[in-house]
Structure 1
Amino acid sequence: MARLVIVSNRVASPKERAAKAGGLAVALREALSQRGGLWFGWSGETEVNPPEAPKVFRSGRVTYALLNLDPEDQRAHYAGYANGTLWPLCHYRLGLLTFRRADWEGYRRVNEHFARALLPLLKPDDIVWVHDYHFMPLAKELRKLGFEGRIGYFHHIPWPTPEVYLSLPSHAALVDDLSHYDLVGLQTENDVRALLTYISSEIHGWIAPGGTVGLKDRRFRVAAYPIGIDAEAFVSDAKKSVGKDEERRLNESLAGRTLAVGVDRLDYSKGLPGKFAAFGELLRSFPEHRSKVTMMQVAPLSRSEVSEYQALRRELEELGGAINGEFAEFDWVPLRYLNRPFQRATLAAIYRRSRVGVVTPLRDGMNLVAKEYVAAQDPEDPGVLVLSRFAGAADELKGSLLVNPYDIEGMAAAMDRALTMPLEERQQRWRTNMDNVETNTIHHWCQRFIDELTNVTDQFGPAGDTWGNARPQ
């Protein structure tokens, strides 16, 4: 069996508990542990003139290789190009996009640095799986250095439509980078369609059935791999929360009131101001819910050094204060706003107790909170998921109440419908969603991508093989 090599900006320490590391980190660590392999990524530390070689250590069957970065390279790569350019672009926030050539050069410099550091650790038959927008050029850099093995890439965030993607000055160079992978995975069929349309219409690549692409003298495959959660673990956590101290404390604080919940990283892509406004509109337009429903929004701080995120935090604090000031009673605060993370077991208890889950991002690659909310529900008395149509999860969770996050009154009406929905309809909608959550787990997702990457060169021939005269029509 070929060795699996995973490359990601974030590496889960072997000492990090599963409840803290999150579903993706746990699944990747599990895949590596089962077959043995290497996990390569940034150490989280910077230093001037860092060594070329990473720090390497072993835990069980997994070898970890962590690389330090130069402070300016790390800034240009991570805060500059990855999160100042690619993140807003892929989330359709062109007004927040900044492009600086120095950041673009730093982004590529870091990818070159990673490739040089990784190459000595690789074996010819390794399967390399690169994760997310931080490392789109990595395969090209590895190919330059002579690595001919299988390399796959998974893009965890949305892929924008051609009209949006063309706003990026380096658009053609990035897709050229992708062409050096054997397999490119995206979250949804819409993402696949957007990338393939760009390739065929803008840079005149060949598209064959099944998402096989010919570009210049290279070929690769583009396909959708919607990511899932560890459904069994989340169901177990939710069941274990029943009767525990945290559930009792939550119930006592609610004093019999209904709970609606949102859990989102504090990020402008998550649509939090609109969600707050919609909850205020619910209380304004449907006064029968006043003093009977409490909204809890968990929003751990994110990139707090960035001015746009600081402005978002201030906006939410003002909105939350205005809602509570307008509607609160001496024994009821309608909106609870928390800026800190919680362990998975605590979130499972909150999800299970809530009648409504409100997941309304302006744009999201998938949004696993939506799936976690479904998994945590009591099948006999489930809550209702109110879900943005612009989350990737909307393609799978057909039992949700789909909303437009730009329509404040529409979201308020959906919240009212969720709060008043009969039990039988709630059960039917939950069952529809849960069938998908149980079928497409994080483990199935992980294994499917690895299997298809393992076999992709069997379809194409040796790595680097060209179209020759057999171009698809």
Structure 2
Amino acid sequence: MARLVVVSNRIADPRKTAAGGLAVALAEVLNNTGGMWFGWSGKILEQPGESDGDVKLQQAGAVKLATIDLTREDHDAYYLGYSNGVLWPVFHYRLDLADFDAGYIAGYRRVNQLFARKLAPLLKDDDIIWVQDYHLIPLAAELRALGCNQRIGFFLHIPLPPPLILAAIPGHDWLIRALFAYDLAGFQSKADHSHFSEYVRSEAHAQDLGEGRWRAFNRTLQAGAYPIGIDVEEFVGLTEAPEGREMYERMKREYSRRKLLVGVDRLDYSKGLPHRMRAFRELLARNPETHNSATLIQIASPSREDVSAYSDILHELESLCGSINGNFGELDWMPVRYMHRTVARARLPGLYRASRVALVTPLRDGMNLVAKEFIAAQDPENPGVLVLSRFAGAAEQLREALLVNPYDTEGTASAIHLALQMPLEERKTRHQALMKTIQKYDVHWWCASFLDTLAQARSEESGTPWLRL
């Protein structure tokens, strides 16, 4: 079996439950192939020349972890600047927040070249390389320029916008040309794949070879939708584990007279948290029977708070929560319990199970695995209801959720009210269908379907070497 080499901006020890969704997703296949995970260490070198730039190797069971450090200049240009100051806002349809003029692209290209130079000597001829996410779009082109001929796949975890929005990025054609250095490009949703197809047809004048295959720049690229899932069995196990059960019992005791609603998000402008709070406020204003009853627990994990757009949304969210509690709260009931911190992953399943409604209402999201985790954590005999934004990638699969437009405050409030009142039999019917979907399209399906396609999607090259972009 060929070794899998995963490359991402950050890495994690796949043996640790708290490592996060990507680590859980990749742990099995990395272990089975004795794989390697390569990425940034998380360490920033404040002084140039502080390190010789050597790759640091660490064994994590059967998996080799390989990391490099970044200088402050490279980190700020590649990560904060281009990845999160240009690509992140544009890919989430927020052209107004993109910083196009700061010249970050040189640092983005430089760090991708650095990754390629450090990774290439570690590769074996028959390795399969799987590059993760928007930080590393040009990596395959840089590896090809160094003579690497391995199969290389790319997966975009965030949305891909329509062609006219994507074309607002200076050098957008360079980014898409770089994708053609891969053998397979995967997207979270059919909509994202459709946007890619429209772009390469209209902007790159690519030849449509059928079945998701495109020919341009003397390369053939396979592209498709591979919606990521969760390890359902693992998450159900967390729900039944001591920490999950303890959290569930505590929530049931403390909120025995309430109907709990839950939101768990990173603090990011793409998550639509102020819109959610305005919809919850509308629910309380229009439905007096929800007073002293409905309680929203909103967890907003810290995220890039040194960026002004994030500090702005933090202040707006805190102001909204304060005004809702001030206007509707009683001595023995606060409608919103807001926490600006991270909650341990092992405790979340208990919170999900204790909640009657989950609010997953991003303005734009690649997938959103909280929606799937909420479903997996439910008691099938008394399940809660998922209120899901139609602009989350998960909405394509989870059609039995209550789908909402988060920009429509009154419509979202009505959907939340419907969820709180939904009869048991309807809740059970919806949950059974949703559970069947997430079990069928779980994380193991995601890995297998992508890697099986990559194994067959060998690009047809023109015979000329790949030139550095």
Q: TM-score, with normalisation over the residues of structure 1?
A: 0.95
Letter in 1 for 2:24: V
CA contact (8 A) 2:183 2:221 kept: yes
Counterparts in 2 of 1:194-205, with a 5 A limit?
Answer: 194-205=195-206
Consecutive unaligned residues of structure 1, counting only runs of 5 or more, are 468-473
> SS of the counterpart of 2:358?
strand
CA contact (8 A) 2:248 2:353 kept: no
Counterparts in 2 of 1:278-427, with a 5 A limit?
Answer: 278-427=279-428
Return the alpha-carbon distance in structure 2 between the equivalents of residues 242 and 28 of structure 1: 24
Distance 1:201-1:244 versus aligned 2 partners, 3 A rule: closer
* Structure 2 equivalent of residue 17 of structure 1: 16
Counterparts in 2 of 1:209-220, with a 5 A limit?
Answer: 209-220=210-221
Counterparts in 2 of 1:148-187, with a 5 A limit?
Answer: 148-187=149-188
Letter in 2 for 1:26: V
> SS of the counterpart of 2:347?
helix
Q: CA deviation at 1:310?
A: 0.8
Return the alpha-carbon distance in structure 1 between the equivalents of residues 318 and 63 of structure 2: 43
Q: CA deviation at 1:218?
A: 0.8
CA contact (8 A) 1:388 1:403 kept: yes
> SS of the counterpart of 1:410?
helix
Identity percentage of aligned residues? 51
Letter in 1 for 2:406: P
> SS of the counterpart of 1:197?
helix
CA contact (8 A) 2:184 2:221 kept: yes
Letter in 2 for 1:263: V
Cα offsets for 1:141-171 (capped at 9, x unmatched): 0001101111000000000001111111111
* Structure 2 equivalent of residue 96 of structure 1: 97
Q: CA deviation at 1:123?
A: 1.2
> SS of the counterpart of 2:284?
helix
Return the alpha-carbon distance in structure 2 between the equivalents of residues 453 and 368 of structure 1: 24
Return the alpha-carbon distance in structure 2 between the equivalents of residues 418 and 359 of structure 1: 13
- Which stretches of structure 1, 4 residues or longer, exceed 6 Å deviation after superposition? none
Return the alpha-carbon distance in structure 2 between the equivalents of residues 6 and 430 of structure 1: 34
CA contact (8 A) 1:264 1:299 kept: yes
Return the alpha-carbon distance in structure 1 between the equivalents of residues 120 and 346 of structure 2: 39
Return the alpha-carbon distance in structure 2 between the equivalents of residues 158 and 280 of structure 1: 29
Counterparts in 2 of 1:438-457, with a 5 A limit?
Answer: 438-457=439-458
Return the alpha-carbon distance in structure 2 between the equivalents of residues 133 and 51 of structure 1: 27
The more displaced of 185-194 and 232-241 is 232-241
Cα offsets for 1:252-279 (capped at 9, x unmatched): 3213211011111000000000001111
Distance 1:466-1:185 versus aligned 2 partners, 3 A rule: farther
* Structure 1 equivalent of residue 37 of structure 2: 39
Distance 1:466-1:354 versus aligned 2 partners, 3 A rule: farther
CA contact (8 A) 1:23 1:230 kept: no
Cα offsets for 1:94-116 (capped at 9, x unmatched): 11011135310000000001100
Letter in 2 for 1:334: P
1:72 maps to 2:73:
yes
CA contact (8 A) 2:244 2:348 kept: no
Cα offsets for 1:376-412 (capped at 9, x unmatched): 1111111110000000000000110000010011110
Return the alpha-carbon distance in structure 2 between the equivalents of residues 431 and 70 of structure 1: 50
Q: CA deviation at 1:240?
A: 3.8
Q: CA deviation at 1:307?
A: 1.1
CA contact (8 A) 1:348 1:373 kept: yes
Number of residues of Structure 1 aligned to a counterpart in Structure 2: 461
Q: CA deviation at 1:27?
A: 2.1
The more displaced of 143-152 and 247-256 is 247-256
Letter in 2 for 1:23: G
CA contact (8 A) 2:13 2:23 kept: no
Q: TM-score, with normalisation over the residues of structure 2?
A: 0.96
Return the alpha-carbon distance in structure 2 between the equivalents of residues 243 and 336 of structure 1: 20
1:123 maps to 2:124:
yes
Superposition RMSD in Å: 1.5
Return the alpha-carbon distance in structure 2 between the equivalents of residues 243 and 315 of structure 1: 32
CA contact (8 A) 1:241 1:247 kept: no
* Structure 2 equivalent of residue 29 of structure 1: 27
Q: CA deviation at 1:22?
A: 1.6
Return the alpha-carbon distance in structure 2 between the equivalents of residues 242 and 375 of structure 1: 16
* Structure 2 equivalent of residue 6 of structure 1: 6
Return the alpha-carbon distance in structure 2 between the equivalents of residues 207 and 305 of structure 1: 44
* Structure 2 equivalent of residue 470 of structure 1: none
Distance 1:239-1:58 versus aligned 2 partners, 3 A rule: closer
CA contact (8 A) 1:386 1:401 kept: yes
Return the alpha-carbon distance in structure 1 between the equivalents of residues 427 and 319 of structure 2: 34
Cα offsets for 1:8-62 (capped at 9, x unmatched): 0110036x621x1122212213211111111100011122234343111223221
Letter in 1 for 2:287: F
Return the alpha-carbon distance in structure 2 between the equivalents of residues 245 and 379 of structure 1: 19
Return the alpha-carbon distance in structure 2 between the equivalents of residues 242 and 291 of structure 1: 28
CA contact (8 A) 2:177 2:217 kept: no
Return the alpha-carbon distance in structure 2 between the equivalents of residues 241 and 280 of structure 1: 35
Consecutive unaligned residues of structure 2, counting only runs of 5 or more, are 465-469
